[in-house]
Amino acid sequence: MSVPVPQVPVILIGGIDPEQMAALTIALQWDLPDSVVVHHEIDVERELLIRTVSDRRGLIQRREINVAHACVSCAIRTDVVPTLERFAARGRWGAIIAQLPETAEAAQVCRAIEYDQQAAPHVRISAVAVALDGTVVAEDLLGDDLLVERALPVREDDERGVGETVSALVEYADLVVAAGHSPRAIGLLQAIMRPGALVVESAAEVNVGELMVGLHEHERSEDWVQVVRREPLPDRGTSGAWQLDFVSERPFHPERLRQRIEDLGRGARRSRGCFWLPTRPNQVCQWDGAGGMVSIGVAEDWAGEEQLTRIVVVGTDDGQERLAAAFRDCLLTDAELAERGCYWEANLDGMEPWLGPVPYVMARGA
């Protein structure tokens, strides 16, 4: 019988603002005097990952590691997780505060550790925290800026928007610290965050005892960010933001969807979910939008599960009813269902630029 190894609680800190991230890191290190800080940052121009490790006594280590193409995912796999394991295994510190590179998703760290039990056996992710500038968080969540338009360590060919990046960070977080936030910002954050996650205005409001015991539950976080969500959404009664939960068993009509993609994704909103098409009945199609930009792709197969169209939208404008009507217009009508059913034979459906070729077996109606 294997003997459990002692585990060190790790607090992951993410965000897009290095000053806000550093402020939270310093505050937590002050409240946790027996902790060690592991800070990773990326130098895009030199294609380097810079790792700095320190505790209350001073600098412990500073290393520069070559990272091809300044790849954040590669950095997490090759250095972030192994470094956390090395310092946890020493048994010298009571906690590890891990400040990730700007824009990096803590979800990647959590999954690497959760799915490979040998990757970091001495590590226990106790909390995923995101530090944001509350004075601009509403604009960051819903605006149309690209990451390359900000002074962020991303490659010139990185096409991600600030909105989709910040939204993904917030949706996975157990704790969001948004300094100087407004009521509108709080409403947006609460509408996007998973149930039970916390939002505070400053690090002084953070209960480090809760962080150490553990706010993070991997399965709960993963359930909230799934492409296909079947559970009812909680009624949070947030002010300053509305939430549209568009749900149907019917597929979208591929031509009408293609014609209306721009209209459906337009505006200062966050939207995500799944849909299916009669030309591709086995494919789970993913919808991921923020700040007027929408990404559509194939996430997985339904694998025998009942197909579902469900897109959740959060916004602050007055277009909720029009948006719901536009989504309804894209569904197959009663007449179309009566004439052709839910499974269509097709070699082309117009969605190839987003979803790739129509799979042969599906074109046969299988």
For residue 155, what pLDDT is reported? Answer: 82
CATH 1.10.3720.10 fits domain 242-363: no
Query: Which residues of the chain form CATH 3.40.50.300?
Result: 8-225
- For residue 224, give both structure tokens: 């909230």
For residues 269 and 96, give the distance between their C-alpha atoms in angstroms, rounded to a whole number.
Answer: 35
Query: Which residues of the chain form CATH 3.30.1220.10?
Result: 242-363
Question: Phi first, then psi: what are they for 103, rounded to 5°?
Answer: 75, -10
For residues 39 and 80, give the distance between their C-alpha atoms in angstroms, rounded to a whole number.
Answer: 9
Nearest to 53 by CA among 32, 29, 37: 37
The pairing of beta strand 35-43 with beta strand 95-99: parallel
In tens digits, what is the pLDDT along the chain, a chain of 366 residues?
A: 566 789 999 999 999 999 999 999 999 999 999 999 999 999 988 889 999 999 999 999 999 998 876 677 777 888 999 999 999 999 999 999 999 999 999 999 999 999 998 999 999 999 999 999 999 999 999 999 999 998 888 888 888 899 999 999 999 999 999 988 888 888 899 999 999 999 999 888 999 999 999 999 999 999 999 999 999 998 876 677 899 999 999 999 999 999 998 889 888 899 999 999 999 999 999 999 999 899 999 999 999 899 999 999 999 888 889 999 999 999 999 999 999 999 999 999 999 999 999 987 544 344
Nearest to 199 by CA among 175, 221, 235: 175
Report the interhelical angle of 162-172 vs 183-192 (nearest 10°). 70
The domain 8-225 is placed in CATH, from the list 3.30.365.10, 3.40.50.300, 2.160.10.10, 3.30.450.40, at 3.40.50.300
Q: Where do the H-state alpha helices sit in the chain?
A: 18-31, 72-75, 81-89, 106-115, 137-142, 162-172, 183-192, 208-213, 218-225, 254-265, 320-330, 334-340, 352-355, 360-363
Q: Let me know: does 162 contact 146? Beta carbons within 8 Å.
A: yes
Q: Write the DSSP assignment of 46-87 as a string of letters.
A: TTEEEEEEEETTEEEEEEEEE-GGG-HHHHIIIIIHHHHHHH
User: What does R_g of the chain's alpha carbons equal in angstroms?
Assistant: 22
φ/ψ bin of 91: left (φ > 0), alpha (ψ from -120 to 50), beta (otherwise): left
Model confidence pTM above 0.85 = yes
